[in-house]
Structure 1
């Protein structure tokens, strides 16, 4: 069945309006012809009319059914576009992992002030440095030794220099150099010789804290053993004295003598 026949059948089906009452009346007239003529027709003459009416009814119904079937068979075009399915990825989705931040350990705070002995003109009791045979440095009539005081602690330290001279000294300059290892600050100094005999200065020079004792003109250091000490705060923890040093210049009997050295840990 081509498109033209389908169209015609569809138009005929849509235009047709079957009249059931008329059809039944026609069938009745065909089957009751004897009443009109006031006589009973024979079976042979009435049968063809009834068969013809049935065939006409069947033709009308068949035509309508074909038209409906053509309409049903031809679906209307769809306005909804078909979207192809996109397959979902089968692999795991990438994830980005970050390392947890590393928290630095808490740093101990320094004490509110110096914990060492207060500076005085003479050595405090129990703080007098003692000499070690292995660290002694001698030059003629002058002998010296440097050490870190055993009373030093986590926040504060004291560096000692012990001097021994066999002859009186008419001139003396002692310099102690404490390396800046973090938080190094002057907290004082002392000596066993009279404070009025010396000019004392403390200053920072190129990352080094410098303590200097200078014997005033006309004063004399008698023969014997003497001590000098530099005190300072520093960053919390055990401080290394590997970069610390001292230097001694003196005059004895008209001759110049010089000593120098470092500081040993005594604890």
Structure 2
């Protein structure tokens, strides 16, 4: 048999080799005790070439087996362990704190849109045009009112003059006035004595001409002062936004 063929078979045998851990440990212990064991036969010096190849292959197998023993021993410490190392998750960056919501400026007198059972809001009607506008006031109450005064102030931004007004509540229940005061066109609806406003949502509107073009309504605002039928007062106010 040629040396190359023998070497090939030995390599195949080495690759298929499965080390016997118990026998290897016994041999290591005997080696540490010193001296060859009884019955151990050393090969003669003048060994044939195929024996030298076999010896080299056996040495390689011994190194591989020792490495496998070391890896297996390390894996036995502290119980069974998986073959993968889990890395610690990266800490998440702190979430940015949400910015506080901006509050619309209060109406004059520090009035806000809601007070107890009463709420109001003002908006320019979407059917307004570059020459004429209508300001809508919504008033909502969860309780009947025995007294109510609603006041709409339209800033004199140029060419502002009244063309009328209306309300969703019965006309005979209110007195209505329109006048100019302190740079505003002022609409005022006042509940007549002995009348009442039922719980619900009600509308008041002022109509007016203005100078040609887009009109800035940010200076307009509405206020409402009421007395509840059950007793107690409430006051609300709201500013308008920019509109035509």
Quickly name the TM-score band, shorter chain normalised.
0.5 to 0.7
What displacement does 1:231 show? 0.4
Alignment match of 2:185 (pick from 199, 206, 209): 209
Runs of 4+ in 1 over 6 A off after TM superposition: none
Number of residues of Structure 1 aligned to a counterpart in Structure 2 = 134
* Partner of residue 25, structure 2: none
Tell me if structure 1 keeps the 8 A contact 2:214–2:243: no
Distance in 2 of aligned mates of 1:256 and 1:231 = 29
What secondary structure does 2:145 align onto? Answer: coil
Contact 1:147-1:265 within 8 A present in 2 as well: no
CA distance in 1, matches of 2:163, 2:204: 14
Q: Please state whether the residue corresponding to 2:212 is helix, strand or coil.
A: coil
Match of 1:238 among 208, 211, 214: 214
2:156 is the alignment partner of 1:180 = yes
Q: Give me the whole-angstrom Cα distance separating, in 1, the residues matched to 2:168 and 2:242.
A: 22
Structure with the larger RCO, 1 or 2 (CA within 8 Å, 6+ apart): 2
CA distance in 1, matches of 2:203, 2:194: 21
> What does 1:18-167 align with in structure 2 at a 5 Å threshold?
137-167=113-143
**TM-score between both structures, scaled by the size of structure 2:** 0.53
Structure-2 change in CA distance of 1:203 and 1:197 (3 Å): same
Q: RMSD between aligned alpha carbons?
A: 1.6
State how far apart, in whole Å, the 2-side matches of 1:210 and 1:258 are: 18
Following superposition, the deviation at residue 232 of structure 1 comes to 0.2
Alpha-carbon deviations, 1:51-94, whole Å to 9, x = none?
xxxxxxxxxxxxxxxxxxxxxxxxxxxxxxxxxxxxxxxxxxxx
Write the distance in 2 (CA, Å) between the matches of 1:192 and 1:247: 17
Query: Alpha carbons of 1:266 and 1:184: their partners in 2 closer, same or farther (altered >3 Å)?
Result: closer
CA contact (8 A) 2:156 2:184 kept: yes
1:264 aligns with 2:241: yes
Q: Which residue of 1 aligns with 2:44?
A: none
The aligned counterpart of 1:254 is 231
Deviations 1:206-254 (A, max 9, x none): 2210000000000000000000000000000000001111110001121
CA distance in structure 1 between the aligned counterparts of 2:138 and 2:242, rounded to whole angstroms: 14
Q: Give, in angstroms, the shift of residue 137 of structure 1.
A: 1.8
User: In the aligned structure 1, how far is the partner of 2:242 from the partner of 2:118?
Assistant: 23
TM (norm. structure 1) is 0.48
Structure 1 gaps, min length 5? 1-133
Alignment of 1:221-232 (within 5 A): 221-232=197-208
User: How far 1:144 moved relative to its partner?
Assistant: 0.9
- Which is higher, the Rg of structure 1 or of structure 2? 1
Instruction: Tell me, in whole angstroms, the C-alpha distance in 2 between the residues paired with 1:144 and 1:206.
Output: 23
User: Partners of 2:241 and 2:144 in 1: how far apart?
Assistant: 27
Distance across 2 between alignment mates of 1:138 and 1:265: 21
